[in-house]
A and B are shown apart, each in its own frame.
Chain A
Amino acid sequence: MTVAIPIWQGRVSPVLDAATRLLVVTRRRGVETHRREVTLGPQPPGPLADRIAELGVDVLLCAALSGVLQRALRKQGIRVRSHLCGDVETVLRAFGCRRLAREEFRMPGCWGHHQSDDRCRRPRTGGRRKRAEPPELTLTGARRRAPGP
């Protein structure tokens, strides 16, 4: 699974639309296997979503983003978990441990009705990736079952 997170000064970049750097982390069986930083030039929402999709990103963790960009990312089959803030490494760890719902990662004013909208939801049809994803794993490699419906 490839997880991306826009970064700025070691924290989640405040606005994805204007972010300049993207950390792309590849994880296999819950263990990080590769990471790289990519520069994002100033570009409009459509091309920005195309660029992120080209990097093979499955899940994007970010802070604020415009509705236009969110729709463009969804169209590319990328799952978006938005309105997150905090130290990048802590957020990545919390994602692996499914602890992103904690208050410390919430952006002010952006929770409430946005939360359900932002859950890592797979597109129903026509998504870029169709193969089933293995259950989320913790960073230690211990297998965790995805919560039931």
Chain B
Amino acid sequence: MDERINNQLLDSVPDGVFTVDTAWRITSFNRAAEQITGVRRAEALGRPCCEVFRASICESACALKQTLATRRPVANKVVYIVNAQGERIPISISTAVLRDARGRIVGGVESFRDLRLVSELRRAAEQQDSFSNIIGRSAAMRRLFDLLPPVAESDSTVLLEGASGTGKELFARAIHELSRRRARKFVALNCGALPDTLLESELFGYKAGAFTDARKDKPGRFALAEGGTLFLDEIGDISPAMQTRLLRVLQERVYEPLGSVASVRADVRVIAATNKSLDQLVRDDKFREDLFYRVNVVRLELPALRDRREDVPLLIDHLVARFNRLKARDLAGVSDAVLARLMEYDFPGNVRELENIIEHAFVLCRSGLIEPAHLPPHLRTEGLPAPTGFPAGLTLAAMEKLLIRDALRRHQGNRAAAARELGVNPSTLFRKIKALGLSRSSRGS
């Protein structure tokens, strides 16, 4: 087949293809290869393949070299190349030996596929697992995602209930971003962090001369959020006096800055959040009932991470990708052992705790996969109970002793019943009790 037809054939292939001679100089370079590498065919021909292809493995583990040495093809090895624009492009490569008509080896052929399209498809799939930067594909999160657009559209006051670290502020921001108020400000205030007097001036602002050192007017958060959304976190922690003032704003939509005699109208949507049960606080007379009904127009309960464990792998992938981006690193993810440990962990600090765990691992792990040794000490497997419920480091005899003692306790020392449960003959059990030296007291209650 003449060279022109050869080139036409190669150019019709969607994957990049090039061939080399035995001195590693490029002898053909198809159109897709030009597009993926950014190197023109005319420039590539005759040059050493590593200077044209620039793959991460050229120096250490060249696939073509391996193929020519072993005579075995390499298939779908994933590496990256640096193209002419300085972009790292993930590709999968396959190599084979080239022989002439007499069967003598005259070089090698390498084909490669741009995996960016695959990555884009994966990213698109990941986007289906998130909503306004909130990650989750569990049923609980999907229900919340479905509720967000109509809730955002409604302009009603929203109460977000959820433990610390469940993403209350993220949800509040998502509601704001989806609402007609998105062009105006989203203002957040943690009510639990401020004493009463400060909270009042922070919320409603003050006029010059309202108190010593109040030399000029200061707008409050309600004024700053005018036309937008005010997010009041830890609303369950505010004092009864502040509850009364807040109730008035929510009822009348007017407030008075400190030291002012004139009322100010507030066009602000309030989203309140708490990590406590407001119902319970009302029952304990710690939260005004009328305020509770004012803020509890639409209530969204955010699930704890332990109640949506199926989201843990997704969140880990998301966090690893984010820290890779932020810290210019390229960790591949977490090992199976780490994933198993995190899947069984209860996360009292919820997603925020998971984020801290991954950040901790990024400090200790230099490359590759995050291993158990990179986890914070309380999550390392050593010293933790084995998954079976036995303490770690037990001998087989000690385990047997524990099992027999527990079975006997459960059956009030009835050896026949315990033997049935353990699946052994009563006489075998009796022999084992004697051999293991189980005392009479340990056999009964």
Contacts and interface: CB of A to CB of B under 8 A. Distances in A.
Interface of A: 8, 13-15, 17-20, 42-47, 63-68, 70, 72, 85, 107-110, 114
Contact of B86 (A44, A67, A85, A108): A67
Contacts of A18: 55-60
Interface stretch (B224-232, B325-333, B393-401): B325-333
Contacts of B51: 14, 63, 85, 107-108
A5 B18 CA distance: 28
A114 B38 CA distance: 13
A43 B65 CA distance: 24
13 contacts: A8-B59, A14-B50, A15-B58, A17-B56, A20-B59, A42-B367, A43-B367, A44-B330, A45-B328, A65-B86, A85-B51, A109-B39, A114-B84
Contact of B82 (A8, A46, A66): A66
Given A63-B54, A85-B51, A108-B47, A44 B329 contact: yes
Contact of A15 (B38, B82, B85): B82
Interface of B: 37-40, 43-44, 47, 50-60, 81-82, 84-88, 324, 327-330, 366-367
B39 A46 contact: no
Given A108-B43, A108-B47, A109-B40, A67 B87 contact: yes
B84 A110 contact: yes
A65 B56 CA distance: 10
A72 B44 CA distance: 29
Contacts of B59: 8, 13-15, 18-20
Given A17-B82, A44-B367, A47-B366, A68 B328 contact: yes
Contacts of B54: 14-15, 63-64
* 5 A-B pairs with the lowest CB-CB distances in the bound complex, closest first: A109-B39, A46-B328, A108-B43, A67-B86, A14-B50
A102 to B, nearest CB: 16
A108 B88 CA distance: 17
Nearest to B79: A18
Nearest to A18: B56
Contacts of B367: 42-44
Contacts of A15: 54-56, 58-59, 81-82
Contacts of A42: 367
A60 to B, nearest CB: 14
Contacts of A110: 39, 84
Given A43-B367, A66-B88, A70-B86, A108 B52 contact: yes
Contacts of B329: 44, 46-47
Nearest to B329: A44
A19 B58 CA distance: 9
Nearest to B38: A109
Contacts of B55: 14-15, 18
B326 to A, nearest CB: 10
Contacts of B81: 15
A20 B56 CA distance: 11
Contacts of B327: 46
B358 to A, nearest CB: 16
Contacts of A65: 82, 86
A12 to B, nearest CB: 9
A20 B39 contact: no
A47 B87 CA distance: 18
Scoring A42, A66, A67, A70 by chain B CB atoms within 10 A of each residue's CB, the highest score goes to A66
Contacts of B40: 108-109
Contact of A43 (B43, B52, B82, B366): B366
A107 B39 CA distance: 10
B132 to A, nearest CB: 28
